Amino acid sequence: MASADVSASIRSISDELERASTTVAEADLSAFAALLDDAERVFVHGAGRSGLALRMTAMRLMHLGKRVHVVGETTAPAIGDGDVLLTASGSGSTGAVVTAARTAAEAGAGIAAITAVADSPLGELADAVVVVPAAAKLDRTGAASAQYAGSLFEQTVVVVGDAVFDALWHASGATADDLWPRHANLE
């Protein structure tokens, strides 16, 4: 097996992530953040690695004092009016995510979506959409990303989530000491 050049991979991934995250439309990010900020409760739902990335955002929103639930956990209550479903799907057509978005819309909840395909079923259901310029999971051409499958999309989901948290935190006027008591203590 050839010697792995991890340093070159880090540079390549960093470059792609910078390009993807800095080309997301500022107006879309503002609407997305406002929807989450105004939510009574936030429900987080994504499949696979996208879902794992969103769980990081769920934790940070909880640190802000938001009432946050992960869809599928046994303690997640019913979604309703005033709530927001926060979703991520590169294709925007992941079956369980789109079904959850339809259910949330029928219950009167808002939908915040991160996707690579604006005119996807998820994008069309969403009240606020952040479109990430990344390769779809099945795109192996290397045209949109040199990385495997949906890696760039999933990485950008993490960056967008942290950026929204950071912006909402600073806008709140809370200090790090104010947030700290909500940090997990059963680790």
Whether 187 is catalytic is no
The pTM score is 0.94
User: In this prediction, what percent of the chain has a pLDDT beyond 90?
Assistant: 86
What is the rounded CA–CA span in Å between residue 137 and residue 147? Answer: 10
What architecture is the 27-172 domain classified under in CATH? Answer: 3-Layer(aba) Sandwich (3.40)
* Mean per-residue pLDDT over the chain, rounded: 94
pLDDT of residue 4: 85
pLDDT of residue 64: 97
- DSSP output for 78-108: ---TT-EEEEEESSS--HHHHHHHHHHHHTT
Choose among 45, 29, 69: nearest CA to 164: 29
Q: Where are the domains of the chain?
A: 27-172
Cβ(76)–Cβ(43) below 8 Å: yes
Active-site option among 73, 106, 124, 154: 154
The 8 Å CB, 24+ separation contacts for 29-32 are 29/130, 29/160, 29/163, 29/164, 31/128, 32/112, 32/114, 32/128, 32/129, 32/130, 32/160, 32/164
Positions of the chain with pLDDT lower than 70, given as ranges: 1, 136-137
